[in-house]
Amino acid sequence: MSTASTSNSPGKWVVLPHYAFAAVAFLVLSILLLFSTDAFSGHYFHPKLLTLTHVAVLGWATMIIFGALYQLLPVVLDCKLYSEKLAVYTFILLGTGTILLAYSFWYFQLGWSMHAAACALVISFVLFNINVIQTARKAPKWTIEADFIVTSAIWLLVTGIVGLLMAVNFTLPFLPLDHVHYLKLHAHIGMAGWFLLLIIGVGAKLIPMFLLAHPEDTRKLSWAYNLINAGLVLFILDHMVLHTKLLPLYGGLVVVGVLLFLLYLRDAKNTMQRKDIDLGMQQTFVALVLLLLPLALLFVVSTDLGLPQRLLSSIYLVYGISVFLGFVSALILGQTFKTLPFIVWMHAYENHVGRYKTPLPKDMYSHKLLRWQNIFYLVGFVVFVAGVLLREQQVILAGAISFSITAILYTANVFQMLLHKAHNLKPLTYGKANA
Amino acid sequence: MEKQTPDTEIGPEVFETLKYIIDPEIGINIVDLGLVYTVSLEGDNLHVQLTLTTPGCPMSGTIVMATEQILLKRFPDLNAKVELVWTPMWTTDMISEEGMQQLNSMS
């Protein structure tokens, strides 16, 4: 029998601050939404929308993904994280950069604060890449999941560099085309290159694991990887150089790639042994269904269908909302409760298991709050999207209120876990274990 | 997949003890999940080989430590050594009948 090493998990101070920051960022995002209902009636290049988007993608999504990844990377790659110190520096730079950038966009300060924010973020992404790539180099066995994760980190850096160039271009114009042109590039590299590839890479490992399924054939994942990357590279080439009308084709490559990932998950679901789908996994499946919305809208925004400009503007907004407030947020709202309880539990009870009766990770948060969180989220998303499509500020406000309740419930549960301490443990007594 | 060396009379007692270790994600003990591969006793040295549901599982350190601690507490006169192994790879076929009943009762 081949032997294995024990835990590769990093220290809790590397991981947990990311969850705390992200929960607060989600709460701030929902509050900002309440004061931004007027911003959803025009073009997406709007200071409030730029603020909301960057709080969502950096403070909320990227922050929690970084934290979770420091815990999950050793699981996927079966080796220790390269540097915990580097992870802490990355956290500080990402946090500082996000706050500065949100301030700069909200008050539309295009000077030093935006430049400093962009620099902090790019340095943070460079450090993150060093950590991911150096960890991957130590991996005993290379897998397709590792391909997804390492490639996504590189795309994140590219996204950040394009963002930095745009930030500088605000005050020192040097880019040949208008800002919206580069904004499309920046957004799509971030969405498909960073979020999509990363989520597929981690999801392909974790979702079957949580379902107690072992899909062995990874060819669908390999094709998904190739198609999504091909679609993205061709899009960049076309957008910057060729300027053809083939955008729907490149979008199609990405869509087929995502569908192959979903088929892979269906294979896993068909062989799963677990019959109980808990609230965290239910929310994860909601996220996967919501993913179909931006995939469908991708063809609408990349094809000239002759739609009225007013409607097209709303569809553009819904496209972005369905990615960040839809798929990505829904997934995080579910997967937080599949990862954080275990991380906290491990640090609180590692030395007590086998000697004392300990609670299970699922006992560390309120299932009632989680159930209501999921309900308010779904209601909020549907109402919010309807409000944006109808251009009704009152409907948008109703959606934002529902999102705010979601954020309050989520943050309460997250901090309940983060502040959890082991106490009043009773020693194990031996009898019939399963009795 | 409970295996013991033929002269290990202590085996059933060890397996019963290890049923107190619950897989924190699944909520079922590691014996009924089929994670404990072998138990052997040579002199005072108690040797247990176990695996996990997935390689690189973040709970590996916790489960190994818990197994060692519970064995040291239950059998204080023995030197308990727990070894984590990856072959044969764990599959759901290794879950015991009782474990499957527990899984099904969770739905």
Token digits for A164? 């930095």
In the prediction, which pLDDT does A75 show? 78
In the prediction, which pLDDT does A430 show? 62
In the prediction, which pLDDT does A294 show? 94
In the prediction, which pLDDT does A14 show? 93
Note whether A217 and A270 are within 8 A (CB).
no
B85 and A3 within 8 Å at the Cβ level: the answer is yes
- Percent of chain A exceeding pLDDT 90 equals 67
Question: Distance of alpha carbon A191 from its chain centroid, rounded?
Answer: 10
pLDDT in tens, A62-98: 999 999 999 888 877 878 899 999 999 999 999 999 9
Q: How far is B44 from chain A (nearest CA, A)?
A: 21
Backbone angles phi, psi at A108, to 5 degrees: 45, 50
pLDDT in tens, A25-70: 999 999 999 999 988 877 777 889 999 999 999 999 999 999 999 9
In the prediction, which pLDDT does B90 show? 86
Show residues of chain A in contact with B25, CB under 8 Å.
Answer: 210, 342, 361
In the prediction, which pLDDT does A7 show? 62
Between the alpha carbon of residue A12 and those of residues A71, A127, A289, A335, A347, the distances in Å are: 9, 19, 33, 18, 7
Would you call A216 an interface residue with chain B, using a CB distance cutoff of 8 Å?
A: no
Nearest to B27 among A71, A77, A360 (CB): A360
pLDDT in tens, A124-164: 999 999 999 999 998 888 889 889 999 999 999 999 999 99
CATH class of B10-91: alpha beta
Nearest to B21 among A72, A273, A354 (CB): A354
Would you call A332 an interface residue with chain B, using a CB distance cutoff of 8 Å?
A: no
Would you call A350 an interface residue with chain B, using a CB distance cutoff of 8 Å?
A: yes
In the prediction, which pLDDT does A5 show? 41
Would you call B78 an interface residue with chain A, using a CB distance cutoff of 8 Å?
A: no
Would you call B53 an interface residue with chain A, using a CB distance cutoff of 8 Å?
A: yes
pLDDT in tens, A402-433: 999 999 999 999 999 999 988 888 887 765 55
In the prediction, which pLDDT does B56 show? 65
In the prediction, which pLDDT does B103 show? 79
Mean pLDDT of chain A: 91
**A206 Cβ contact list (under 8 Å, min separation 6):** A72, A75, A335, A338
For residue A434, is pLDDT > 70? no
Would you call B13 an interface residue with chain A, using a CB distance cutoff of 8 Å?
A: no
Would you call B22 an interface residue with chain A, using a CB distance cutoff of 8 Å?
A: yes
Kindly indicate whether the ipTM for this predicted assembly is greater than 0.85, answering yes or no. no
B20 and A433 within 8 Å at the Cβ level: the answer is yes
- Report the range of poorest mean pLDDT among A261-275, A277-291, B57-71: B57-71
Mean local confidence (pLDDT), A313-342? 94
Across A68-100, b (16+ Cβ under 10 Å) vs e yields: bbbbbbbbbbbbbbbbeebbbebbebbbebbbb
Q: How far is A262 from chain B (nearest CA, A)?
A: 21
- Given CA atoms A290, A291, A294, A298 in this order, what sign does their dihedral have? negative
Would you call A428 an interface residue with chain B, using a CB distance cutoff of 8 Å?
A: yes
In the prediction, which pLDDT does A4 show? 40
Q: Determine the 3-state secondary structure of B57 from DSSP.
A: coil
Q: List the Cα angle A381/A384/A390 in 5-degree steps.
A: 140
- Report the range of poorest mean pLDDT among A254-263, A357-366, A389-398: A357-366
Note whether A338 and A279 are within 8 A (CB).
no
What whole-number distance in Å separates Cα of residue A15 and Cα of residue A275?
A: 30
Cβ-Cβ contacts under 8 Å between A and B: the total is: 128
Show residues of chain B in contact with A209, CB under 8 Å.
Answer: 53-54
Q: Which of A16, A188, A30, A198 is nearest to A125 (CA)?
A: A198
Q: How far is B78 from chain A (nearest CA, A)?
A: 16
Between the alpha carbon of residue A206 and those of residues A284, A297, B30, the distances in Å are: 11, 28, 20
Q: How far is A355 from chain B (nearest CA, A)?
A: 6
B49 and A1 within 8 Å at the Cβ level: the answer is yes
What whole-number distance in Å separates Cα of residue B8 and Cα of residue B49?
A: 14
In the prediction, which pLDDT does A196 show? 96
Token digits for A82? 């390269």
Q: How far is A4 from chain B (nearest CA, A)?
A: 5
A2: confidence class by pLDDT, cuts 50, 70, 90: very low
In the prediction, which pLDDT does A6 show? 47
Tens of pLDDT along chain B (107 residues)?
555 444 457 888 899 889 888 888 888 899 999 999 999 888 888 999 999 887 767 677 778 888 888 888 888 888 989 988 888 888 888 888 888 888 777 65
What whole-number distance in Å separates Cα of residue A80 and Cα of residue A9?
A: 7
Would you call A431 an interface residue with chain B, using a CB distance cutoff of 8 Å?
A: no
Residue of higher predicted confidence among B6 and A114: A114
In the prediction, which pLDDT does A93 show? 98
Token digits for B71? 């064995």
Q: Which domains does chain A have, with CATH numbers?
A: 3-418 (1.20.210.10)
A394: confidence class by pLDDT, cuts 50, 70, 90: very high
What whole-number distance in Å separates Cα of residue A331 and Cα of residue A374?
A: 11
